[in-house]
Structures are given as C-alpha cells and as structure tokens.
A = this chain, B = another copy of it.
Amino acid sequence: MEKLKTAVLGASGYTGAEAVRLIMGHPNLDLVALTAHRHAGKAYAEVYPHLAHQGLPDLQNWQDVKWDEVDAVFACLPHGASEDTIAEIAQKSIKIIDLSADFRLKDAQIYEKTYGRKHTSPELLAGAVYGLTEYARDNLKTASLVACPGCYPTASLLAVLPALKHINTDNIIIDAKSGVSGAGRKESTALIYPETAEGAHAYAVGNHRHGPEIDEKLSAATGQNITVSFTPHLIPMNRGMIATVNVELNDGVLVDDLRTVYEARYKDEAFVHVEAEGIVPHTRHIRASNQCRIGIFADRNPSRAVIISVIDNLTKGSSGQAVQNLNGMMGWDETLGLNLVPVFP
C-alpha cells in the first residue's frame, strides 16, 4: 500500500511535535511537510532537538507546501490562524484534522463570545465533525474536516457522557488539573519553571474557554441546556490531565449501577478503560499513550458519586486523538499507530 502523505501545520507547538512523533510511528503515514510561520527555513531539530537525527523535512511556510502532494493535514495552529488557513486548504481534496478550537463549537455565536472573534467560515463549520472519536465514528467515515476536542473536553466528556441519564445534569462539578504542556510552548514568564514548579493553582476560574465546549456537547447529547461547573488547575508535570467529576445520582441509582453503565459503554473500546472497583487512575500511568482511564467511586455523600478520568493531554487530549480520527476517516483500524505503551516512570 502506498502511504498517506501527511503534513503538520504549526509544527512548532507541542501538539505539532506530538503529531510528528505519532506520524513517525504510524505504518500507513508518511510525513511530507512541516510548517511554522516564524521558523520557516529552519531544520526542525533547531526547534525540537528531540526530533533530531530522524531525517525530517525542514520547516516551511504553509503557503510553500506542495499541496497537490498532500493527502491529509494535521492543523496544530492557534485558533483564528487555523480557521483562515484551513479555509484555503479545504478547497483541495485533503483530509483535514484540526487541533485548534476553530471548528469545535457548532454555535458560531458562542464561538465569537468565547474566542473574541467572528467565525468567518460558517459553511466549513457546518460540515465539520466534532472528533471525540468514541462518539463520532459514523460521522468520521465521510468527514473531510474533523475538529479535535480540547484536552479538558476530552477528559470531561469521556467521564460524563455515559452518566447523563443517571445523574442530575444541573449539578455536574468538574475539577480538572492539567500538566504545563497544556499551556503550549509560549514565551511567557508565567510559565517558567520557578513560576510553575513546586506549587499549584487554579486559573480561568469560571471562564475557561473549554467550558462552553463541554456544555455544548453535553447539551447536544441530552437535548437539555447543560451548564457544568468547571475549574481547571495547573500542576507541575509536563503531561497529564485529570478530570475529577462530582455528580448527583438520580433517585435509586447506585454507584455500582453507574459502573455497570460505564463498563457496558466502554468495554469494546481500545483506548478507554474503566478501572475495577477501588483502582484510582494516575496520569503517570497513561503518559505518552492514547489511553483514557476512568475510575468510578462512591462519594462520602451517598447520593453522589465521583468519576475520575485521566488522559495525556498531548496524546488522547490532542494529537493521539487526531490520529485516531484520521484512522476513522480512512476506514482503518482505529488503533493503527496508536498502540503506545505508556512510558513510566
């Protein structure tokens, strides 16, 4: 079989580098182009030394890519930038997996309110598939543009979706914790080691951009208007994300019932694992893999339960899920290139 020729747009960010890592290990993918506006012309190893000695293409401007020779694109651009670039590329018959926020929200008004800019490609938005893979398979098969969920929505939705019929959807409390790579590779004093190591803090309390995304997808799944409580925290680790979800069980629902529901929903999933009773998932145990692990626990309050999901924000929370989506778009085995054994310690 000839391999699919892929390009990574925005290869200078962490999700771009993770996409490159995964493409390199994928049996059906070839990497033919890497773009990065500010670094065009440089060897990729100048930007990411860990990817030196691998024979990778140099960085270039996306306009200079020979798009006729590209079959699929992983777009790892900042929001806004992504939309404009994709609007151009979308005119060619290229599969596009967008890792930005630009095509995640179906409601363009919420997009504008959340991201502070008007969405200018409503027709593209209409056709974009929201690629939470485990819930998007049918649509992926015919999709030409897939919007990969944000990392927090991935961890949160996988943790909450199976429960929706069994809980009070007005009382979903998500307390989330992310590793620092989630903030991106930014020139920012707030992210330097002394400001982020050896301590923890919440941020964007009450107004994180991933909140509306979680709301929209939960609302779509239920037909109700759901507003979750969502408080993200930054903690000192490179990779990893926890969503600790506290829910109020409907009358008569027991925690064991909830576990049964989750086990049924995810038993055939390659990447989502419901842990046995009493097993608490750690982020470090799924590091660098495409796994999501979910633990279900009795709360101290007998009418409530705690659902905990962990993912690697750069893999299942971003580039891993992107590859999983491409596998789905191509009709391939969804695990191709993604049988990544977690790296521990």
Question: What CA separation (Å) do A238 and B238 show in the bound complex?
Answer: 12
Q: In the complex the two chains form, is B205's CB within 8 Å of A238's CB?
A: no
Q: Which residue of B lies closest to A283 (CB)?
A: B199
Measured CB to CB, the closest approach of chain B to A37, in angstroms, equals 15
**A91 at interface, CB cutoff 8 A:** no
Q: Is the CB of A242 within 8 A of B233?
A: yes
Q: Does A192 contact B (CB under 8 A)?
A: yes
Asked if A177 contacts B189 (CB within 8 A), the reply is no
Residues A282 and B173 in contact, CB atoms below 8 Å apart: no
- Closest B residue by C-beta to A207: B300
**Minimum CB distance partner of A205 in chain B:** B297
Q: A49-B279, A288-B288 are in contact. Are A238 and B198 (CB under 8 A)?
A: yes
Check B229–A301 contact: CB distance below 8 A. Answer: yes
User: Is the pair B49, A282 in contact by a Cβ cutoff of 8 Å?
Assistant: yes
The interface residues of chain B lying within 8 Å CB-to-CB of A116 are none
**1/0 contact trace for A332-345 toward B, CB 8 Å?**
00000001011111
| A284 in contact with B233 (CB, 8 Å) | no
Q: Which of B21, B49, B194 contacts A14 (CB 8 A)?
A: B194
Q: A53 within 8 Å of B by Cβ?
A: yes
The 8 A CB mask of A273-295 against B (1 = contact, 0 = none) is 10000011111111110010001
A135: CB under 8 A from chain B?
Answer: no
Distance (Å) between the CB of A289 and the closest chain B CB? 8
Contact with B along A39-81 (1 / 0, CB 8 A): 0000000001111111000000000000000000000000000
- B187 and A50 contacting across the interface, CB-CB below 8 Å: no
A117 at interface, CB cutoff 8 A: no
Check A200 against B181 for contact (C-beta < 8 Å). Answer: no
**Chain A interface size range:** 35 or more
A239 interfacial contact with B, CB 8 Å: yes
8 Å CB contact of A199 from B186, B287, B291: B287
Q: Are A205 and B342 also in contact (CB < 8 A) when A187-B188, A300-B227 are? A: no
Residues of B within 8 Å of A189, CB to CB, are: 185-187
Give 17 A-B pairs besides A191-B193, A193-B196, A227-B301 with Cβ atoms closer than 8 angstroms.
A21-B343, A25-B339, A170-B301, A173-B246, A180-B192, A181-B345, A187-B188, A197-B198, A200-B240, A200-B282, A200-B283, A201-B281, A203-B280, A228-B301, A236-B236, A287-B343, A288-B343
9 contacts between A and B (CB under 8 A): A14-B194, A177-B177, A197-B236, A201-B284, A202-B242, A202-B244, A205-B306, A227-B300, A239-B345
- Enumerate chain A interface residues (CB-CB to B < 8 A): 14, 17, 21, 24-25, 48-54, 170-171, 173, 175, 177, 180-181, 185-189, 191-203, 205-207, 211, 215, 227-231, 233, 235-240, 242, 244, 246, 248, 273, 279-288, 291, 295, 297-301, 304, 306, 308, 310, 339, 341-345
